[in-house]
Amino acid sequence: MSPDDLAELHALCFDFAPRPWSAGEFRSLLDSANVALLSVGGGFVLTQLLGDEAEILTIAVHPEHRRRGIAAGLLLRVHENARESGINSVFLEVSERNTGAIGLYESLGYERAGARKGYYRDRNGNRITAVVMKRDLTKGKAELLVK
Ligand SMILES: CC(C)(COP(=O)(O)OP(=O)(O)OC[C@H]1O[C@@H](n2cnc3c(N)ncnc32)[C@H](O)[C@@H]1OP(=O)(O)O)[C@@H](O)C(=O)NCCC(=O)NCCS
């Protein structure tokens, strides 16, 4: 997917918390040596490598393609690639209001590891807490792609 495609899909999936990222922002991220993009028809995930950890910077699936296992499949590939690179854990921030995404992460073994108060703002300017979630890749067996 090109930076324009990524920005278009991101804008469809996010409004204020977090705000949509521009094509220029995606271009600079993709230019970073430690940022990796995985995409399939209908969705993508952007990951940043930080020492022996990986951070999910963003994940988005087109509204017409949801609940078909696309996000879970992308995250399982991220876990697999991370393990192969000797990375022990994956973390991310998610709005405490985003119960769908939290359900996705919990279904893949992520656990709540903290909170960042006021990390996002909603369209009325109200502060929203981000939940920090972490997947310990050394725990449990490697997952299988089932969808
Ligand atoms: C969150 C998001 C990436 C999920 O993508 P998806 O491809 O629909 O997710 P999957 O089909 O892989 O879901 C796998 C499991 O996660 C859970 N899940 C996913 N979306 C859910 C929702 N809206 N509500 C409750 N559980 C959900 C379910 O357990 C689901 O399994 P099931 O469908 O068998 O019940 C997608 O809804 C999206 O792009 N949302 C807007 C952007 C966003 O919030 N990104 C995450 C920001 S941190």
Q: What is the per-residue pLDDT across 4-37, written as a single tens digit (0 to 9) for each?
A: 999 999 999 987 677 889 999 999 999 999 999 9
User: Would you say residue 147 has pLDDT above 50?
Assistant: no
Contacts of 32 (CB under 8 A, 6+ apart): 48
- Token readout for 126 is 């109200």
Calculate mean pLDDT across residues 81-96: 95
Residue pair 145/95 in contact by the 8 Å Cβ criterion: no
Calculate mean pLDDT across residues 81-97: 94
- The identity of residue 59, as a single letter, is I
The predicted pLDDT at position 133 comes to 98
Calculate mean pLDDT across residues 73-87: 95
- The identity of residue 36, as a single letter, is A
Closest CA to 31 of 41, 23, 19, 42: 23
Mutate to test the pocket of ligand 1, among 45, 67, 102 (most ligand atoms within 8 A of CB): 67
Confidence band, pLDDT 50/70/90 cuts, at residue 111: very high
Q: 3.40.50.300, 3.40.1350.10, 3.40.50.150, 3.40.630.30: which CATH number matches 3-136?
A: 3.40.630.30
Contacts of 129 (CB under 8 A, 6+ apart): 95, 96, 115, 116, 117, 118, 119
Predicted structure pTM score: 0.94
- The identity of residue 78, as a single letter, is V
The predicted pLDDT at position 139 comes to 84
User: Would you say residue 144 has pLDDT above 70?
Assistant: no
Cβ atoms < 10 Å from Cβ of 36: 19
Question: Domain map of the chain by residue range?
Answer: 3-136
Convert the pLDDT of each residue in 95-106 to its tens digit: 999 999 999 999
Rounded to 10 degrees, the C-alpha dihedral 144/60/44/34 comes to -100
- Catalytic, 93? Answer yes
Look at the block and give the residue holding tokens 């490598």. 49
C-alpha of residue 122 to centroid of ligand 1, in Å: 20
